[in-house]
Structure 1
């Protein structure tokens, strides 16, 4: 409503002075006519309907128009509705007091309306400047995200070229591993740009389902007998949690596709996310060949270090379920629903219960 009034007054305040005063007179005459219809031509209540006319003149035009409405309304009120009617005389003290009160209140209303109008105009203009700034910031953010994606793709292309020209197999493997993580980072960054909202939160179901689909396509899982299952509860998490969460999920799923199904083995990758009390639980499970947590890593071991570092950002804990009783691998990450203000405020998550005989054993994520 204030925006509409400001938009109207911007047009009407640009009218010539004579047009504004003529329109003000029309408003006052309409109020007098309404008084005449409402109470008849008799004496009494000469100013009862003039205050709305004063307010309307101030809102639509300016303070000068309100003053004109006050003076013209007082003149017509005395002339038409104060005895003796038709004469500009006020023989009774009560009528004089009523006139003075109307003049004082009307002029005060004119001043207040003008001040309120200025405040509303300033507020509307400030909101318009803020909206324009936010639009410009959004354009800059999109441009920055586009350039960031281009820079990542150029870096990936450079590393790929270096990998293809290298004769050292260990160097090629390291560069290929770096390329995979750069691609994962690019996917996560793009996914966050798609899910950026006004409240700067990300829906966990959309995030994990999208990342799993991206990794399935990027890892060639559609050409291999590997099925994906994503069961994630929808929770709005802030960007400070969503970034490490997405990167942890990306790393765990990538490692599963890389090591769990050798020689085109068939299998299933299950991604889960749920809330348990005051904790979130991310799980990535497979029915592949499994691995020995005590054995040396098959690659450089950087993936494990990344997972541990990202879980530390979440103030959580990662565990691996291993053992012949289960088969495959289950990686679980638990972290608080609300991040503490600092690392010292984070309470360690409770240790796992010791497994019963013959059951798979959950161990901390290996270093």
Structure 2
């Protein structure tokens, strides 16, 4: 049904480009062509051949507008009266039933013309509005892409400056600079991966979390004997959720590399993101030395994780494992009102 309406919209828009005089001429030719076809195909016994002209009235009114349906009605009534019902070759209506049939045909034709020409106007207005909305959506997507491009460049400059500054300092200051650069990189990753879906800006969790873990593997684990694995289902989440989600992954992995594997001991970190019903579950596990819940909530990074989890309306739990620790974040698919 939607395809049929779209096709009719396209036809009516095209017909609007035809001069009015040409539309009237096409209507006249159509009525005469139907009359000729009817009279030359052995339909002489048909007493009231009005029905064959009703589709002509509908088509001319729906496609050409500008009174073409009314013109088709008048021409059809004249043609039927003059060529198809007795007395042939005269506009005189000799039979009372023929007169009633002619009057009903004209009334029905005018009513149909009025309705279908109103439909024509509505379809044209709808098609024009649809084109305007599509143009506005395209303009918005171009502007959004341009804004995202500029944001990515600005964030890349910030990351570069932080990394440069980190190389000029040592100790705690250097770690702080690198952590800040990783956090900015996590935000920049959102702007590299966003897409437009149903007029919403969304991010695919599978590619986003996977590439974020790749960045962390290069920046944090390149010289460490620690494996980082990611397993994320593909779900489209809003950019408002993607930013804190990425920062939580960044903080949890960073904390694990700092505290779970002292003295360069080998180990593994796993990042898993799945959906079960109305809840997303993000789980970051490690097989390190483990920690207590109180210690896990003590650092700056842990407080940041708590703040980010609050933004998502989620719950966060620290679970001791044997060996290691797991951070489990449950995020509602739809935020509570």
Aligned residue in 1 for 2:310: 312
Alignment check: 8 A CA contact 2:273 2:280 kept:
yes
Aligned residue in 2 for 1:354: none
Q: Choose the corresponding residue for 1:159, options 147, 157, 162.
A: 162
Q: Choose the corresponding residue for 2:109, options 106, 111, 122.
A: 106
Separation in structure 2 between the aligned mates of residue 225 and residue 39 of structure 1, nearest angstrom: 94
| CA deviation after TM superposition for structure 1 residue 203, in Å | 4.2
Structure number having the greater helix percentage: 2
Alignment check: 8 A CA contact 2:288 2:324 kept:
yes
Secondary structure of the 1:91 match is coil
Structure 1 outlier segments of 4+, above 6 Å: none
CA deviation digits over 1:243-299, x for unaligned, max 9? 3223212221232234433454322211223345654322111122334554598xx
Aligned residue in 1 for 2:177: 175
Correspondence 1:338 to 2:337:
no
Alignment check: 8 A CA contact 2:209 2:246 kept:
yes
Separation in structure 2 between the aligned mates of residue 99 and residue 306 of structure 1, nearest angstrom: 84
1:185-264 paired onto structure 2 within 5 Å: 185-191=187-193, 193=194, 195-198=195-198, 200-221=201-222, 224-264=224-264
Secondary structure of the 1:49 match is helix
Separation in structure 2 between the aligned mates of residue 127 and residue 200 of structure 1, nearest angstrom: 21
CA deviation digits over 1:43-89, x for unaligned, max 9? 51231111111122223323332222212111110112222222221
TM-score w.r.t. length of structure 2: 0.86
TM-score w.r.t. length of structure 1: 0.79
Correspondence 1:329 to 2:332:
no
1:1-367 paired onto structure 2 within 5 Å: 1-36=4-39, 40-165=43-168, 169-191=171-193, 193=194, 195-198=195-198, 200-221=201-222, 224-276=224-276, 278-295=278-295, 301-322=299-320, 326-341=322-337
| CA deviation after TM superposition for structure 1 residue 8, in Å | 3.6
Alpha-carbon distance change, 228 to 157 in structure 1, aligned in 2, over 3 angstroms: closer
Alignment check: 8 A CA contact 2:63 2:120 kept:
no
| CA deviation after TM superposition for structure 1 residue 231, in Å | 3.3
| Residues matched between the structures, number | 333
Secondary structure of the 1:63 match is coil
What are structure 1's unaligned runs of at least 5 residues?
A: 342-367
What are structure 2's unaligned runs of at least 5 residues?
A: none
| CA deviation after TM superposition for structure 1 residue 136, in Å | 0.6
Alignment check: 8 A CA contact 1:63 1:111 kept:
no
